[in-house]
Amino acid sequence: MRLENQTVIVTGGASGLGAAVVKRFISEGANIGVLDRSEQGCAQLRELYGEKVHCVAGDVRQIEDNDRIVNECVEKFGQLDCAIGNAGIWDYNVTLVDMPAEKLAASFRELFEINVLGYMMLSKAALKPLVASQGSMIFTVSNAGFWPGGGGVLYTATKHAVVGMIRQLAFELAPHVRVNGVAPGAISTQLKGPESLGMAERQFPGEKIAARAAGFVPLGKLPTPDEYAGAYVFFASREDNVPATGAILNHDGGFGVRGIGETPRGGDDLVGKL
């Protein structure tokens, strides 16, 4: 396995896309550190993977929690090869006109602190061991980092900010640490919303979106978390991905090639024509 005995940290790794990334990296031979707010989720990871995973229940917004997962992973596994910032929340497409004015400031802080500051905290905590190992950072973006309509004004703004952060960090940390991003499209996961908008326990409508994916995803289906996870392995690889830094993979089912007609793709009748 190409990631045998490498150590990778994943924030938000106890559920959803993060859990799929953890599963895939472990299958590739990596040791995994997870920073996640759910103690129950951490316990489930320990039960599933035993000594291959080290999980800390904490808050990605706190430097102390980021320092803890980094230091404990280095102590347990010997080094750190890759840090993956993945924890995030969604604003459930709340538009500016529908946003209560009295909640705007708090919602802005919550989304930016989790979706952007959380990534920066991980970067800061992991920097020294990643320089020592000539490792890499990978951040989960979103197609909302490039196109409108993948979230509301706050979520979209955070993901555009992450795109800029990746490019700046790639510049600042070259040639010692590679910094890249994966920008998934819609995923059926347990993605939560902001507490400031009363959405902390809201469930992403994955089944509903999957049922109508053929109408808006050019590839015609909603990819699963497992199907997205391989992109992170690619960016973490020390053999296959040496040239990439500052790169962001639009890994979203083809939103960048959507047509302007009634259907989001042009090949529905291709087989019949052939």
Taking every pair of Cα atoms in the chain, the longest distance, rounded to a whole number of angstroms, is 60
Decide which of 126 and 206 is more confident: 126
Q: What is the mean pLDDT of residues 257-269?
A: 75
pLDDT digits (tens, 9 = 90+) for 167-182: 999 999 999 999 999 9
pLDDT in tens, 188-228: 777 788 888 888 777 776 677 777 777 778 888 888 899 99
What is the Cα gyration radius of the chain?
19
Mean pLDDT of the chain: 92
Instruction: State yes or no: pLDDT of 264 exceeds 60.
Output: yes
Three-state secondary structure call for residue 181:
strand
Residue 261 clears pLDDT 70, i.e. is over it: no
Q: Is 92 assigned a catalytic role?
A: no
pLDDT at 1 over 60: no
Question: Which range (113-127, 186-200, 236-250) has the least confidence?
Answer: 186-200
* Predicted pLDDT of residue 86: 97
Identify the burial level of 137 via C-beta atoms within 10 angstroms of its C-beta, where 0-12 means exposed, 13-18 middle and 19 or more buried: buried
pLDDT band at 55 (very low <50, low <70, confident <90, very high): very high
Please tell me the CATH code under which domain 7-256+263-273 is placed: 3.40.50.720
pLDDT of 69 > 70? The answer is yes
Least confident residue range of 154-158, 248-252, 270-274: 270-274
At 74-118, the pLDDT tens digits run: 999 999 999 999 999 999 999 999 999 999 999 999 999 999 999
Take residue 36 and report the two structure tokens written for it.
């996640």
Which of these is catalytic: 119, 155, 228, 232?
A: 155
Query: What pLDDT score does 163 carry?
Result: 98
Contact between 209 and 35 (Cβ < 8 Å) = no
User: Do 201 and 268 touch, CB atoms closer than 8 A?
Assistant: no
What are the domain boundaries of the chain?
7-256+263-273
d(CA 243, CA 254): 24
